[in-house]
Amino acid sequence: MAYLRPRLGPSRIFLPVVSVFRLVGSARMDDMGLAMSRTQLERLDFDNVVLKKLPLDLSQESGVRQVKGACFSRVKPQPLTSPRFVAVSPEALALLGLDGEEVMDDPLGPAYLSGSEIMPGSEPAAHCYCGHQFGQFAGQLGDGAACYLGEVKVPGRWEIQVKGAGLTPYSRQADGRKVLRSSIREFLCSEAMFFLGVPTTRAGSVVTSDSTVMRDVYYSGNPRHEKCSVVLRIAPTFLRFGSFEIFKKADEFTGRQGPSYGLDEIRGQMMDYVIEMFYPEIQQNYPDRVERNVAFFREVMLRTARLVAQWQCVGFCHGVLNTDNMSILGLTLDYGPYGFMDRFDPDFICNASDNSGRYSYQAQPAICRWNLVKLAEALAPELPPDRAKAVMDEYLDLYNDFYLENMRKKLGLLRKKEPEDEILITELLRTMHNTGADFTTTFRSLSQIFCSTEGESVGEEDSVKQAIDLLLEQCASLEELRAANKPTMDPRELAMLLSMAQSNPALFQMISDRMTIARQLERLSRLKDLMETSQEELKTKQADEWSCWITQYRKRLAHELEGQSDVQAVQEERVRVMDSTNPRVVLRNYIAQNAIEAAENGDFSEVERVLKVLEKPFSSQDEGEEQQQGATPTSTARNPVPYDSKPPAWAQEICVT
């Protein structure tokens, strides 16, 4: 038995080791089981770098307050009652590594994507920023309704936030909530802009609920209960021009100052973070700090110029181009009272609060330049003012280059750049304005106009007539033009202001401006002419104007064919480029309104249907009809017309804010 003891000894030592391995293996299996049981949303990999790199306000003090020395504040999103999905964008959610169907099927999906439940790793916070609103410095603004959830590591890095999740330190007099109509509008337009090829923040989902708030939709004194809703927004970052204005000294006009005035070291931190994270090539290529900062500002300027040129070329009007709504990455940011033009009108205003037309369609390039100047002021002294001015001197030329490049594609002018192209484009827009032509459908129609080639001179008149008939279909009727040219100002108010401009110029400058009055007088003049015109006379005049422009256009197209051996191939390429540049469909107000009205009555299918159409804005009409097959208009929505047609007359007046 003696020889057995050594064998028993080791056995007693060995058996517990086996047990330990079994326990460790069991724990690992449990962890794997737990990981497998977690949903996609619960497995998102958050790292939330911005909260580590920039100062964070840790105060849990409730209510609105000034936040000094911090770029973000911890917040607690307010849960919704019975949150549920209205729609998701599978393409946007895929940026986070999520499957749209799986998210829709997740019982906790609506709660997680509305901030009602907090996902593992998420750190809710609200961003502190300032802004110039309608040209005046407003002081501290911040995320009054939006809530940062965190940054998700996938291939790439994406910040996600929920808009409408409740009160933050920056909510001011508001309640931090958003309603169904504004949420659907932001969701649809964010995705529409992406599929149009315009840089934009994305929208992953819309969630609604049984929670309600009071809203006065038409500012008529008749508020009603509306359902609280939340949009999931996705972008590399939501930092903006106004993020750097928290350090501003007291403004000479409003007396307001940024909450972190005097804390210049934080400005440096923020610039370091933005450049290192989102402009790494600049960080790498410019070891000198000043040169790095100048290169950064120039890149922001370039991206902004390119962005606004793209807006102009799809007929998009942002509506609220304050400095706090300008992305530091050159993305379309914050979809409020936006609008896509129907009839072309350079003075198109989509924001009912914009009485002076500061943010009109034609003003957007200049306003973006103004906002860039304010950004440069906010970056000083990190950005020397003389260097910033030199950069800004490049803006107009860069904008014009981007605009002409896009417009040449829209007109199919691909092989040559001629000085007369600017005149051709200007005359096209003037003709569209005079005839009340629809912006989107007119450009889409141009690919059906061809230039004459050798041996085709006999059919020249017929070709021009066909082109005229085609474009006349896009023009407004006499009734529509009269309605469009009615002055927006009461005649008595206009008469009073005209008198004041002469008798008391100083007082006039305080309450109005000459540009506003000039626009009203121009409308009156056009309306007078239209009231003295018959429908037949209008059609003749419209045909004459289009005939002149089409003749010039076809001559310019003929220049494209000079020296080309395969004329048919050139023509086919032109059509292909034009049809992939000029959308068949954009998110017109009446389309969004159809979806909103259906959703407010409990039918979310129209939101999904519209999203599917917007995902293919350049597809042919046949493809568009296939997308809509089986989609029966809901009884709660206005009877939809084909989305690639001109809007019905009733729809041209809708502007939902």
Q: Which neighbouring-strand residues pair with 11?
A: none
Tell me if the bond preceding 381 is cis, omega within 30° of 0: yes
Sequential DSSP letters for 538-575 = HHHHHHHHHHHHHHHHHHHHHHHHTT-S-HHHHHHHHH
pLDDT of residue 64: 95
- The residue among 580, 609, 642 that closes a domain is 580
Calpha distance 331→235 (Å, rounded): 9
Range with the poorest average pLDDT among 9-23, 382-396, 507-521: 9-23
Structure tokens belonging to residue 435: 């005839």
Rounded Cα gap, residues 112 and 83, in angstroms? 9
On whether residue 463 sits in a domain, the answer given is yes
| pLDDT at position 648 over 90 | no
Whether residue 371 contacts residue 321, with contact meaning beta carbons closer than 8 Å, is answered with yes
Confidence of residue 414 (pLDDT cuts 50, 70, 90): very high
Residue 126 lies in a domain: yes
Domain assignment present for residue 531? The answer is no
Of 102-111, 172-181, 383-392, 463-472, which gets the smallest average pLDDT? Answer: 463-472
pLDDT of residue 461: 78
DSSP for 193-225, please give it.
HHHTT--B-EEEEEEEEEEEEEE-TTSSS--EE
If DSSP codes are grouped into helix, strand and coil, which group holds residue 30? Answer: helix
Residue 489: pLDDT band (50, 70, 90) is: confident
Catalytic residue among 57, 143, 324, 579: 324
What was the pLDDT predicted at 77? 97
End of a domain among 551, 580, 609?
Answer: 580
Checking if the pLDDT of 371 tops 60, the result is: yes
Output 514 or 404, whichever has higher pLDDT.
Answer: 404
Strand stretches in 408-566, DSSP E: none
Mean pLDDT of all residues in 498-515: 86
Range list of β-strands (E), 303-451 = 316-317, 339-340
Asked whether residue 102 is assigned to any structural domain, the reply reads yes
The partner residues of 132 in beta bridges, in order of sequence, read 137
Distance from C-alpha of 404 to C-alpha of 387, rounded to nearest angstrom: 27
- Could you tell me the two tokens for 47? 């790292």
pLDDT digits (tens, 9 = 90+) for 301-330: 999 999 999 999 999 999 999 999 999 999
The answer to whether position 516 is within a domain reads no
DSSP 645: S
Distance CA 421, CA 553 (A): 10
Q: Which residue has the tokens 């540049």?
A: 581
Q: What pLDDT score was predicted for residue 24?
A: 47
Question: Does residue 196 fall inside a structural domain?
Answer: yes
Least confident of 127-141, 227-241, 632-646: 632-646
Cα distances (angstroms) measured from residue 254 to each of 258, 342, 489: 12, 37, 28
- pLDDT for 73 equals 97
* Predicted pLDDT at 516: 85
Q: How far is CA 471 from CA 317, 441, 530, in A?
A: 24, 9, 20
513 lies in a domain?
A: no
Mean pLDDT across 593-599? 97
Look at residues 247, 281, 301 and tell me which one is the last residue of a structural domain.
247
> Residue 59 is inside which H or E element, if any?
none
pLDDT category of residue 506 using cuts at 50, 70 and 90? confident
**Residue 107 domain-assigned?**
yes
Residue 374 has what pLDDT? 98
The DSSP bridge partners found for residue 178 are 229
63: CB partners within 8 A, 6+ apart: 167, 169
What pLDDT, in 10s, does the model give residues 251-284?
999 999 999 999 999 999 999 999 999 999 999 9
Residue 324 is a catalytic residue: yes
Task: Give me the mean pLDDT over the 288-304 stretch.
Answer: 98
For residues 108-134, b (16+ Cβ closer than 10 Å) or e, as one string?
Answer: ebbbbbbbbbbbebbbbbbbbbbbbbe
Average pLDDT across the chain, whole number: 89
Provide the pLDDT confidence category of residue 639 given band limits of 50, 70 and 90. very low
Confidence of residue 83 (pLDDT cuts 50, 70, 90): very high
Strand partners, 212: 227
How many domains, the chain? 2
Range of the domain at 575: 412-480+539-580
Evaluate if residue 31 carries a pLDDT over 60.
no
Most confident of 22-36, 223-237, 499-513: 223-237
